[in-house]
Each structure stands twice: as structure tokens, then as C-alpha cells.
């Protein structure tokens, strides 16, 4: 049994769904999931589809070629087809905070996350014992003003040599370079400890405390060159009160950070996220 996931978007027009489903059926496919959305303001059609093929002769490359020639060119589709059996490879970038790392590795170890983690990279050595306890290779790549370019080249070498599909910044406290962003567009996931677009920057809990907010939040988003302004994948909030100290806000917020980041990783790894004009479409 072969299973694929198809993601498409294009200008909205008649017969897209009918044409795609007919194409799947004509190639002996059995559709097990389909969902679509139309952005009326932009007039853009989005669709996610999962399809199974029982034939042992099924060829993914041949199927992609047929899909492109028979449908993609006709409707001017932007599309991607993934083999559902292949686990994407995720690199973890961390610094000194361990709460998100522990949560991700615990879920990974239990089989909750459909992915592989070839390595963990950090600009500090503090979290190496955690990587060792989970038997995941750990690379220490220090970053200073003087070594930033050298560190970036080392990061790229590791990512390419391990065929990494996407990167997760699990409280990695360094600004990611434009080179890395260009290499992995909409494939670098960050966790920000506020409900964006509120309280961008390095100390959002302190800003929230000074403002006297009644809810705090956490946001997972794709990295772009503009700080904390990339397409949002997942968010959540928690109620707080005037009795909360900054320490209380941080403790409450870290629980949110773990859940929000793990949910964003699941959505991305399961190919349920589409990005268009700095916004995301999240399929169920």
C-alpha cells in the first residue's frame, strides 16, 4: 500500500475538486481524506488530500509527472506531493532553556511525533546531557560576533549532510541568518513566548507584567527576516491576574510554550500547513 499527501493552491476556478478526484480514481487511487478552503478576498483555492494506492507497481515519480502534465499545467497549480510513509527529518536548535526540549524528546520517544531527529545543535553545552540521555547526536556550535559566519557555515554543513527537511528553534536564543532562512523558507519553526503580534522581542513576560495583562500567550511561527513576524502556525493563551509576579508569568508561560510548539511540529510534520502571503491555512 502506498499513501500520498497532496497540497495545492491556485486561483479559484470551477472543476478543480472534480478534476483532482477524477484523476485519483483514474489512477486507481482511494481518497481517504480531502479538505479545501477558498480565500474570497484573494480568490485563492487551497486543498489537502490523502490518497492510497494498492498496486505494487505504483511509482511516485511517474505519478508526479502525470499530475503535472494532466492537471497542474491546466489549472496553473502550485503543488506538492509527499509520500506519507516517509518521516521528515527535523533538526533541533537549542540554547540553555530545557523545557521545550524535554517535551519534544518525550513525545518523540513515545512515538507521538511522525518524524526523525538526526541531531540537536546548540550554541552552549548545557543541554548536551539531555541529548545524550535520549541517544541523539549533539553538536556544539558556539556563536559570537567574531565567529557568526563560521558558525553559520557549520550549521549549513550539518543540515545538508543529514538531509534535514525542517528546523525547530526550541528556545534557541540567536537570530537566524538570512542565508539559513533562504535555504529553508517556511521550514524553520520558532516558539515565541507571547501572543503575537503583542510583545515581540526578548522579554515579553516582563513587558506583559508591566502592562498588567489578564492573559498571556505563546506563538509558534515560521521564521522570516522580520523578527517575530513570520506566518503563525499555532497559538494558545492562559488567564493570569494581578497577583502574578514575573516569575509566575514565566512559569505559566512555559507550559504554554511546550504545548504550542509541539502542536506546531505535529502540524508541519503531518503536512497540514500551507503558507500564503505570510498567513497559514491549517487543515484538520
The catalytic site residues sit at: 228
Residue with cell 540567536: 174
User: Are 167 and 189 spatial neighbours (Cβ–Cβ below 8 Å)?
Assistant: yes
Tell me which residue of 87, 81, 113, 49 sits closest to 283, measured CA to CA.
49
User: Are 143 and 151 spatial neighbours (Cβ–Cβ below 8 Å)?
Assistant: yes
Tell me which residue of 167, 173, 193, 169 sits closest to 251, measured CA to CA.
193
The rounded distance, in Å, linking the Cα atoms of 159 and 172 is 16
The rounded distance, in Å, linking the Cα atoms of 30 and 23 is 11
Residue with cell 553559520: 152
* Helical spans, DSSP H, in 134-174: 148-161
Amino acid at each position: 500500500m502506498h499513501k500520498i499527501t497532496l497540497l495545492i493552491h491556485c486561483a479559484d476556478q470551477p472543476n478543480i475538486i472534480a478534476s483532482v478526484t477524477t484523476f485519483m480514481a483514474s489512477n486507481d487511487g482511494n481518497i481517504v481524506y480531502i479538505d479545501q478552503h477558498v480565500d474570497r478576498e484573494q480568490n485563492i483555492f487551497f486543498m489537502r488530500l490523502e490518497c492510497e494506492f494498492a498496486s505494487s507497481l505504483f511509482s511516485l515519480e511517474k505519478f508526479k509527472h502525470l499530475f503535472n502534465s494532466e492537471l497542474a499545467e491546466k489549472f496553473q497549480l502550485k503543488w506538492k506531493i509527499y509520500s506519507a510513509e516517509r518521516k521528515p527529518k527535523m533538526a533541533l536548535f537549542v540554547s540553555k532553556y530545557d523545557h521545550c526540549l524535554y517535551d519534544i524528546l518525550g513525545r518523540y520517544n513515545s512515538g507521538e511525533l511522525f518524524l526523525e531527529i538526526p541531531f540537536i545543535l546548540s550554541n552552549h553545552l548545557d543541554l548536551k546531557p539531555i541529548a545524550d540521555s535520549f541517544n541523539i547526536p549533539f553538536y556544539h556550535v558556539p556563536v559570537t560576533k567574531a565567529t557568526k559566519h563560521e558558525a553559520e557555515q557549520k550549521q549549513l554543513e550539518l543540515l545538508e549532510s543529514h538531509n534535514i527537511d525542517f528546523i525547530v528553534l526550541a528556545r534557541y536564543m540567536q537570530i537566524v541568518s538570512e542565508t539559513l532562512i533562504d535555504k529553508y523558507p517556511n521550514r524553520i519553526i520558532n516558539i515565541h513566548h507571547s501572543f503575537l503580534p503583542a510583545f515581540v522581542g526578548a522579554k515579553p513576560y516582563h513587558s506583559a507584567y508591566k502592562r498588567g495583562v489578564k492573559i498571556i500567550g505563546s506563538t509558534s511561527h515560521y521564521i522570516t527576516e522580520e523578527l517575530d513576524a513570520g506566518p503563525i502556525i499555532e497559538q494558545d493563551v492562559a488567564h493570569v491576574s494581578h497577583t502574578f509576579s514575573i516569575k509566575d508569568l514565566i512559569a505559566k508561560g512555559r507550559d504554554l510554550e511546550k504545548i504550542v510548539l509541539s502542536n506546531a511540529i505535529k502540524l508541519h510534520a503531518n503536512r497540514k500547513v500551507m503558507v500564503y502571503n505570510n498567513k497559514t491555512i491549517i487543515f484538520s
